[in-house]
Amino acid sequence: MQLTKKPLRIREMVVIVFMVIGLKGGDTTPALFADHAQNAIWLVPVVSFLCLLPPFLILMYLLKKHEKYNLVELIFHLLGKKLGTVLSLLLFIGGFVSMSVDMRNVMEELNYLYFPESPTIMIYAIFLGICIIIANKGLETIGSLTWALIPIIILTILAVMTVDLRDAVWQRIFPILGDGPKTILVDGISKSSAFLEIFLLTIAYQAFHQTKDFRIGIYTGGILSCILIVTFYAIYAMVFDYNTINNIAFLYQESTEIVSLGHFFTNISTFFMIGWLFSTFLRFIIFLYILCWIFGAIFEIKRFEGLILPVGIVSMILSLIPPSFSINELVIRETSLQIITPLFLIFPFLLWGTDRWKNRGKT
């Protein structure tokens, strides 16, 4: 017996979005951007967000118009069974590749920084095992868990910001355009699919108390995430400066590594690992769950929770193929993002076009 049906509301949606998108401020994504954009790293996500905004708004408009559907059902409704399956599968594959690559990066980060003597696969297995067990418990548990742990994560974020800002020199933000406007634009647009989860999250459109909760939640969460990411990237630029920033792989950890808290606490980076690790766990739990949900929706599998284990393991095996972290991050991730980006930028327009085409006689 459940007293309230669909108990999740705005706050859970906000934190889910925040966890999946916003916490990209702390993984290896900034290193990806810094490679070309140097100290204009904070402008790249701004470009990406601006570039993602129109397709996202169109998708949200379509979802609002067709009240009863979630992402996959909407695609099926507008494009029909065959084309819909192809497009949804492409989206799923995009998400899957992105998740696998991200997960490998995070594992390498964890391994390299905190457990240098352990084999990656061992850490990977523990991490994935926990993710799979929790993802199996369903969206309500995930949403509630995320909300329950958000105080720790926010505390960590605020602490990192204060600590980093003590070491930051704001003039380092100049030259404001870094390597030049062209690099920023090209980088921002071509890698905008680093934030593709925001499209995939719309699979949960019907899962909240009201669809309004979902909409408010995703907008609020998205805005908060943008602010967080841009602030964090700007802080990195101010802490590391031009030419250093593109040689650092783990900006978040490095930035906490070089500061100290008074004379007593000289090495505090592990403190910040707590919030970071929680957020990483939650991020992949949500990501894994959503991917399986999409897969389940495509092939009409009602109890898609059963897919979490195989999808997780396949993703782990695939992501272990690249020989090293740098190849994974700088070759595979960059290339895959550049391939995936057009798909995510274009598909909402495609849906919109079909919607207009279908309704051409009615207005």
Partner 1 sequence: MFPWQKQKTEAIEKRKARKISKNLKDNVKYIEEQYSYGLNYDFESRTIQGPSGRYHLFFYSTTVDTKQLSDHIVAPLLEMKKDIPVDRIVSVPNISPITNMGDVEKGLNDGSVIIFKQGIAEGFEVNLQDFKHRAVEKAENEKTVKGPKESFTESLPTNISMLRKKIPSKDLIAENISVGTRPAVPVTLIYERDLANEKVLENIKNRISSITVDNIRNIEILEQFIEERPRSLFPTLLYTERPDNVSNFVSEGYIAIMMDNSSSCLIAPITIWSFFHSPEDRYLRWAFANFSRLIRALAYFITLFVSATYVAVTNYHSQLIPIDLLLAIASSRERVPLPIIFEVLLMEIAFELIREAGVRIPSPLGPTIGIVGALILGQAAVEANIVSPIVVIIVALSGLSSFAAANYSINHTLRISRFIFIVAASFYGLLSLLGAILLWAAYVVSISSFGVSYFSPATPSTKSSHDTFFRMILKKERWRPGFINPKDWDKK
DSSP, res 26: S
- How far is Cα 111 from Cα 151, in angstroms, rounded to an integer? 26
Chosen residue from 86, 162, 227, 265 binding partner 1 by CB under 8 A: 265
- Residue 174 to residue 204: CA distance in whole angstroms: 41
Among 54, 93, 115, 349, binds partner 1 (CB under 8 A): 115
Beta-bridge mates of residue 265 = 261
Q: Which amino acid is at 362?
A: K
Among positions 274-293, residues that touch partner 1 (CB under 8 A) are 274, 277-278, 281-282
The region of 46-54, 83-91, 191-199, 264-272 touching partner 1 under the rule CB under 8 A is 264-272
| Contacts of residue 35, Cβ cutoff 8 Å, sequence gap at least 6 | 246, 330, 334
Interacting positions 81-110 with partner 1 (CB under 8 A): 110
Interaction between residue 363 and partner 1 (CB under 8 A): no
Q: How far apart are the first and last CA of the chain?
A: 46
Among 18, 76, 92, 147, binds partner 1 (CB under 8 A): 147
54 vs 129, beta carbon nearer partner 1: 129
17 lies in the site for partner 1, by CB under 8 A: no
**Per this entry, what is the length of the chain?**
363
Coil, strand or helix: which one is 265? strand
Q: Is 141 in the site for partner 1 (CB under 8 A)?
A: yes
Residues in region 192-211 near partner 1 by CB under 8 A: none
Nearest alpha carbon to residue 177 among 41, 34, 49, 48: 41
Beta-bridge partners for 261: 265
Decide: is 134 part of the binding site for partner 1 (CB under 8 A).
Answer: yes
CA distance 142 to 4: 17
Residue number with CB closer to partner 1 (185 or 216): 216
Instruction: Assess 171 for contact with partner 1 (CB under 8 A).
Output: no
Q: Which residues bind partner 1 (CB under 8 A)?
A: 1-4, 7-9, 11-12, 110, 114-115, 118, 123, 126-127, 130, 133-134, 137-138, 140-145, 147-149, 264-268, 270-271, 273-274, 277-278, 281-282
